[in-house]
A and B are shown apart, each in its own frame.
Chain A
Amino acid sequence: EKPRSAHDEL
């Protein structure tokens, strides 16, 4: 499954 890519951005 795709990592929660830009979820660490604001």
Chain B
Amino acid sequence: MNIFRLLGDLSHLASILILLQKIQSTRSCRGISFKTQALYATVFITRYLDLFYDWVSLYNFVMKIFFIASSCYVLYLMKYKYRPTHDPSIDTFRVEYLLGPCAVLALLFHYRFTLPELLWSFSIFLESVAILPQLFMLQRTGEAETITTHYLAALGAYRALYIPNWIYRWFTEDMVDPIAVTAGIVQTALYLDFFYVYFTKVLQGQKFELPA
């Protein structure tokens, strides 16, 4: 564990707490893509299967349980409790365009040809693009509530912070994971546009609005 990974994980944790806070305080999941949330639940469930047979640490265990549980809880909130506040007509990204290629990539790039390893690879690739339905929705509506942008910023910061973590591990542990690193760089790059608007507008106290 190093400071970058710890801050990345805390940022990830914070993003989920901000999302829950947004839903509970506005009693609405307006502006949140159900598809992105469903993809994240898929990511966590397929990646953390090792919970059942591989012990890393208490920290690792608790975080994995939290990510699986919270992502399922968000799906429950969106699908049942606050269902009327979710508008599927603007959440139109075709997720099959993400799931298919990620499955193919996992078949091509993995560390071992076993089901858990294939699912692990799949989850890494899927995570890197899981935000696209959400960003697509943002693009369509052209604006977002401030709390939603804080959620996205914390989520983007999480994978961005993993990049210095991998550089650090390269030097201190001689560790490199080409699959995670490549996908992580792609994942972070997808946020660049969003980050630009977040830093130049939201953090200056303005509303998140995309130019028409």
Contacts and interface: CB of A to CB of B under 8 A. Distances in A.
B180 interface: yes
B177 A10 contact: no
Query: Most B CB atoms within 10 A — which of A1, A2, A8, A10?
Result: A10
Interface residues of B, number: 22
B184 to A, nearest CB: 9
A7 B175 contact: no
Contact of A9 (B67, B176, B180): B180
Interface of B: 5, 9, 12, 50, 54, 56-57, 60, 63-64, 67, 111-112, 120, 162, 165-166, 175-177, 179-180
Chain A contact patch, size range: 10 to 19
A4 to B, nearest CB: 7
Nearest to B59: A10
A3 B179 CA distance: 13
Nearest to A4: B111
A5 B56 CA distance: 12
Given A10-B60, A10-B64, A10-B67, A5 B177 contact: yes
B177 A6 contact: yes
A10 B112 CA distance: 19
A1 B112 contact: yes
A10 B162 CA distance: 10
